Chains A and B, each alone.
Chain A
């Protein structure tokens, strides 16, 4: 008798859920890389129903080797992507119009890391050395740094690991403060054995992760894109307020994606994301692309010939349309 009553109830509930899901706009997001705390805000926005409150049903695809969020955006596989500002500006210059919905990381977290034992104490010591560079626009801030100190180095293309650096194959490696730097520490090298060049300390301030949509897609439904950005920022706030819960979610997603998941590493990454994302002073707002940072990055890219024109700030951030 209970089953007789339960089955229609469950069916009813399923229909309701389905109807609710139907009511939500289905969108897809591809972060820059495979699951890790770098994207904790988006996971939490989805996990805690923040996207749903904004009327969105967000499917977060896995990034990673061989899966480019930019390509997925172009192909229409996803509606939104996490991209670097440099990438977006370069694409914009190549004719692919992108809209910055939110600037998540406000400054450059990129660094060059060398072993003190190899005799590197200052930028000048990098002259003629083997330096690991990531492919594409990820190398631009490093190139700007080398340019700044007029350094000619042997550029070695650097993959996703720091093993080449750990084994002594290169003298300096590109590293993200929140990721590779800690990986190096967790391979047994102590901080005091490392010479670190944080690019933002050398005047290279490149805003990094941002949320982007194709301009074309954005125009179709600006409100939905804005809602997505707002919900994502709210997800970040939640993640920073609940680090333990967030870590569990991140580690779960990593295990699902079958990528190595070290708790202490993700803890470090989440803490660094907080340093990078939360505005340093109260005059700035979370997720807002600072005009100064935008222009500085554009100028550097222009100087390096990576772009010919710096796009209009208002158009680039979609504000021109919002005013409409």
Chain B
């Protein structure tokens, strides 16, 4: 059940995480791009708004400047006397309703022929024009007089509150009046137009952006002329604000402003709100108009939209997660049930009922496959059980066959304790339970000992059966005929007669005359035996001969040698010379010779053990592929019989 859960969970998790990632990237990118686009649009709008407002302001200010300028030029060209001067001023003021007060101020130096009063001045009081001349020369050290005089050009003064109400901002536009005496141009006086900035304050206050955005106006010195925070107006400059708020960046912005630059900047305003600000100069006065957009509000729509999208996405993802989980569970639930059932099957309960197949999907197919597999398994196991039983029976029978086979070979040594003139010893290690090799020795008569070594082709039961036949035939025919070539010919005839299975066997058959050590032998395709004589081991040079079994009319030839007392004849099968090591290397005839040479002085039993040990050592655990059979016969001579 754990597995089922984890597949569903893993699947759901991967789908959810991927979906969240995709949505996050998409929404993040959407938000960012929207912000950038919005910022661009706002910057453009702000620039339009500010520049349009500045245009309106500029038109008015420029007109006022023009009036002062024209008046100044008139005063330079035409010689006005006191009366006509005041009339000019009064009429000009009357015609220009944007101007609050209008006058001229002259240098009292007689060289400039100052009028009387030296500062003729009119100002508006309702519909009336009031004449308010000054004669105390205080104007000489006042900004509105000094600045245009010293600069020799029109100047707008730093605005200040009017003296009467203390709430209306006033500024003055002053234009120098030049007097050209032929040598140099000197400033004779100044035409001054006082302007109420009430309209401007209202105009700036009316520039509203968003809900909490605002605009403000700075003077040439950076003083706040208008601002929603009234405490700042005329009290603080943008620089004093920067100082008291410890905002060096604001000071930098301020410096750009008073230098007449324009720009779009991000800054944290006095209420610690992140804002964007656009500012531009009012050219004629050097003032700066700025509009401020609170970022939060600016981006509120984008943020809200993004939040809505994110909300929808989140809801969608939740729904998707639930759906995916449900589907995953639905898909994996039968799988889980199947897993549970197969678990029982795995532990051997083949009769466990598999879940019913409801659909023809993969799980359905899997269940069907499992059902089929369970059936097949049951059948197979049944067969296996039967086979195993049969095999066990055969095994035990084979064991018995081995025992019988072993009992057929002479195993009792010394075999002839009463015949000291020779010694004989043999051993066989079958490769399978029943082998195809066999040896035998028996007396034909009291003098002649027949001994033989045979190797039936193939191993196992057929070989063993064939060997039985061969062995019995060789023994009976041997005892009857008494000559090796006759024995082999006769046995071959019998074996070949009904040899449908085309089996064959090699045989080395020899007869020892125990009285003189003469050995008569005939070979039917068997390995040449080794003669150990005087400590030297060498292969006996013999005819190969044809194997017993395949062809009936085979003729075998008898050969003979004479053993000296102490000589040993060593018979073996190819199970020894063809024993393989782990690296597939054959034991070989050379090794056999060497081993026999070193073991030449040993007793026969010892010699056979030595050879067997050497062969097993050579194999080094590699499986034995053929029967290992040896037989050694030592002739002691008749002297041994009669000591």
Rounded to whole angstroms, the CA-CA distance of A263 and B240 in the bound complex is 8
Contact yes or no, A265 B255, CB < 8 A:
no
Does B142 count as interface, using CB distance less than 8 angstroms?
A: yes
Q: A157-B141, A159-B141, A185-B239 are in contact. Are A164 and B222 (CB under 8 A)?
A: no
**Which chain A residues border B220 with CB–CB below 8 Å?**
166-167
Contact yes or no, A187 B239, CB < 8 A:
yes
**Which chain B residues border A166 with CB–CB below 8 Å?**
220-221
Contact yes or no, B141 A135, CB < 8 A:
yes
Q: A188-B221, A188-B254, A264-B244 are in contact. Are A164 and B161 (CB under 8 A)?
A: no
Contact yes or no, B255 A186, CB < 8 A:
no
Does A122 count as interface, using CB distance less than 8 angstroms?
A: no
Does A163 count as interface, using CB distance less than 8 angstroms?
A: yes
**Which chain A residues border B241 with CB–CB below 8 Å?**
264
Kindly supply a per-residue 1/0 record for chain A positions 259-298, scoring 1 wherever the CB is within 8 Å of any chain B CB and 0 otherwise: 0111111011000000000000000000000000000000
Contact yes or no, A168 B151, CB < 8 A:
yes
Does A107 count as interface, using CB distance less than 8 angstroms?
A: no
Rounded to whole angstroms, the CA-CA distance of A187 and B251 in the bound complex is 10
Rounded to whole angstroms, the CA-CA distance of A170 and B146 in the bound complex is 10
Point out the residue from B141, B157, B221, B234 that lies within 8 Å of A187, measured CB to CB: B221
**Which chain B residues border A185 with CB–CB below 8 Å?**
239
**Which chain B residues border A161 with CB–CB below 8 Å?**
143, 158
Contact yes or no, B258 A156, CB < 8 A:
no
**Which chain B residues border A262 with CB–CB below 8 Å?**
235-237, 240
Contact yes or no, B239 A159, CB < 8 A:
no
**Which chain A residues border B244 with CB–CB below 8 Å?**
263-264, 267
Count of A-B residue pairs with CB < 8 Å: 80
**Which chain A residues border B149 with CB–CB below 8 Å?**
169
Contact yes or no, A163 B237, CB < 8 A:
no
Rounded to whole angstroms, the CA-CA distance of A166 and B155 in the bound complex is 13
Contact yes or no, B166 A258, CB < 8 A:
yes
Contact yes or no, B236 A264, CB < 8 A:
yes
Rounded to whole angstroms, the CA-CA distance of A161 and B155 in the bound complex is 15
Rounded to whole angstroms, the CA-CA distance of A261 and B244 in the bound complex is 13
Contact yes or no, B255 A188, CB < 8 A:
yes
Does A115 count as interface, using CB distance less than 8 angstroms?
A: no
Rounded to whole angstroms, the CA-CA distance of A135 and B149 in the bound complex is 18
Does B140 count as interface, using CB distance less than 8 angstroms?
A: yes
Does A130 count as interface, using CB distance less than 8 angstroms?
A: yes
Within 8 A of B (CB), among A246-262: 258, 260-262
Contact yes or no, A169 B150, CB < 8 A:
yes
Rounded to whole angstroms, the CA-CA distance of A166 and B221 in the bound complex is 8
**Which chain B residues border A263 with CB–CB below 8 Å?**
236, 240, 244
Contact yes or no, B146 A169, CB < 8 A:
yes
Contact yes or no, A159 B221, CB < 8 A:
no
Rounded to whole angstroms, the CA-CA distance of A190 and B240 in the bound complex is 12
Indicate the member of A157, A261, A265, A267 with the most B CB atoms within 10 Å. A265
Contact yes or no, B142 A188, CB < 8 A:
no
Does B147 count as interface, using CB distance less than 8 angstroms?
A: yes
Q: A130-B150, A264-B244 are in contact. Are A186 and B158 (CB under 8 A)?
A: no
Contact yes or no, A164 B236, CB < 8 A:
no
Does A100 count as interface, using CB distance less than 8 angstroms?
A: no
Rounded to whole angstroms, the CA-CA distance of A188 and B158 in the bound complex is 15
Smallest Cβ distance from A128 to chain B, in angstroms? Answer: 15
Contact yes or no, A260 B240, CB < 8 A:
no
Rounded to whole angstroms, the CA-CA distance of A268 and B236 in the bound complex is 13
Contact yes or no, B235 A163, CB < 8 A:
no
Contact yes or no, A170 B258, CB < 8 A:
no
Contact yes or no, A188 B166, CB < 8 A:
no
> In this complex, what residue of A is CB-closest to B234?
A260
Rounded to whole angstroms, the CA-CA distance of A168 and B152 in the bound complex is 11
Does B243 count as interface, using CB distance less than 8 angstroms?
A: yes
Q: A169-B146, A261-B235 are in contact. Are A163 and B240 (CB under 8 A)?
A: no
**Which chain B residues border A156 with CB–CB below 8 Å?**
146, 150
Kindly supply a per-residue 1/0 record for chain A positions 105-146, scoring 1 wherever the CB is within 8 Å of any chain B CB and 0 otherwise: 000000000000000000000000010000100000000000
Rounded to whole angstroms, the CA-CA distance of A126 and B155 in the bound complex is 25
Q: Is the interface of A mostly helix, strand, loop or mixed?
A: loop
> In this complex, what residue of B is CB-closest to A170?
B150
Contact yes or no, B240 A265, CB < 8 A:
yes
Q: Is the interface of B mostly helix, strand, loop or mixed?
A: helix
Contact yes or no, B143 A164, CB < 8 A:
yes
Within 8 A of B (CB), among A154-192: 156-159, 161, 163-164, 166-170, 185-188, 190
Indicate the member of B141, B149, B161, B241 with the most A CB atoms within 10 Å. B141
Q: A166-B221, A262-B236, A264-B243 are in contact. Are A157 and B258 (CB under 8 A)?
A: no
**Which chain B residues border A187 with CB–CB below 8 Å?**
221-222, 237, 239, 258
Rounded to whole angstroms, the CA-CA distance of A161 and B172 in the bound complex is 15
Point out the residue from A130, A163, A264 that lies within 8 Å of B147, measured CB to CB: A163
Point out the residue from B142, B237, B243 that lies within 8 Å of A159, measured CB to CB: B142
Rounded to whole angstroms, the CA-CA distance of A170 and B149 in the bound complex is 11
**Which chain B residues border A264 with CB–CB below 8 Å?**
236, 240-241, 243-244
**Which chain A residues border B243 with CB–CB below 8 Å?**
186, 264, 268
Contact yes or no, B239 A164, CB < 8 A:
no
Rounded to whole angstroms, the CA-CA distance of A254 and B77 in the bound complex is 46
**Which chain B residues border A188 with CB–CB below 8 Å?**
221-222, 237-239, 251, 254-255, 257-258
Contact yes or no, A186 B151, CB < 8 A:
no
Rounded to whole angstroms, the CA-CA distance of A267 and B241 in the bound complex is 12
Indicate the member of B166, B240, B244 with the most A CB atoms within 10 Å. B240
Kindly supply a per-residue 1/0 record for chain A positions 193-236, scoring 1 wherever the CB is within 8 Å of any chain B CB and 0 otherwise: 00000000000000000000000000000000000000000000
**Which chain A residues border B147 with CB–CB below 8 Å?**
163-164, 167, 169
> In this complex, what residue of A is CB-closest to B155?
A167
Rounded to whole angstroms, the CA-CA distance of A44 and B240 in the bound complex is 24
Rounded to whole angstroms, the CA-CA distance of A296 and B493 in the bound complex is 163
Q: A163-B221, A258-B161 are in contact. Are A186 and B237 (CB under 8 A)?
A: yes
Contact yes or no, A157 B158, CB < 8 A:
no
**Which chain A residues border B150 with CB–CB below 8 Å?**
130, 156, 164, 169-170
Rounded to whole angstroms, the CA-CA distance of A72 and B140 in the bound complex is 24
Point out the residue from B146, B235, B238 that lies within 8 Å of A164, measured CB to CB: B146
Contact yes or no, A157 B221, CB < 8 A:
no
> In this complex, what residue of A is CB-closest to B150?
A169
> In this complex, what residue of A is CB-closest to B221?
A187
Smallest Cβ distance from A169 to chain B, in angstroms? Answer: 3
Contact yes or no, B151 A169, CB < 8 A:
yes
**Which chain B residues border A265 with CB–CB below 8 Å?**
240
Rounded to whole angstroms, the CA-CA distance of A158 and B238 in the bound complex is 25
**Which chain B residues border A130 with CB–CB below 8 Å?**
150
> In this complex, what residue of A is CB-closest to B256?
A188
Smallest Cβ distance from A243 to chain B, in angstroms? Answer: 13
Within 8 A of A (CB), among B239-271: 239-241, 243-244, 251, 254-255, 257-258
Indicate the member of A163, A166, A170 with the most B CB atoms within 10 Å. A163
Rounded to whole angstroms, the CA-CA distance of A263 and B270 in the bound complex is 14
**Which chain B residues border A261 with CB–CB below 8 Å?**
235
Rounded to whole angstroms, the CA-CA distance of A261 and B233 in the bound complex is 10
**Which chain B residues border A168 with CB–CB below 8 Å?**
151
Rounded to whole angstroms, the CA-CA distance of A268 and B244 in the bound complex is 10
Contact yes or no, A159 B235, CB < 8 A:
no
Point out the residue from A157, A163, A258, A260 that lies within 8 Å of B140, measured CB to CB: A157
**Which chain A residues border B151 with CB–CB below 8 Å?**
167-169
**Which chain B residues border A163 with CB–CB below 8 Å?**
143, 147, 157-158, 221
> In this complex, what residue of A is CB-closest to B136?
A66
**Which chain A residues border B239 with CB–CB below 8 Å?**
185-188
Return the 6 tightest CB-CB contacts between A and B, nearest first.
A169-B150, A264-B244, A187-B221, A159-B141, A264-B240, A186-B239
**Sample of 13 further A-B pairs with CB below 8 A, known A163-B158, A188-B237:** A161-B143, A164-B143, A164-B146, A164-B147, A164-B150, A167-B151, A167-B155, A169-B149, A186-B243, A187-B239, A188-B251, A188-B257, A258-B161
Could you write out 10 A-B pairs with CB less than 8 Å apart?
A135-B141, A156-B146, A161-B143, A164-B143, A164-B146, A167-B155, A169-B146, A188-B255, A260-B223, A262-B240
Q: Which A residues lie at the B interface, using CB under 8 A? A: 130, 135, 156-159, 161, 163-164, 166-170, 185-188, 190, 258, 260-265, 267-268
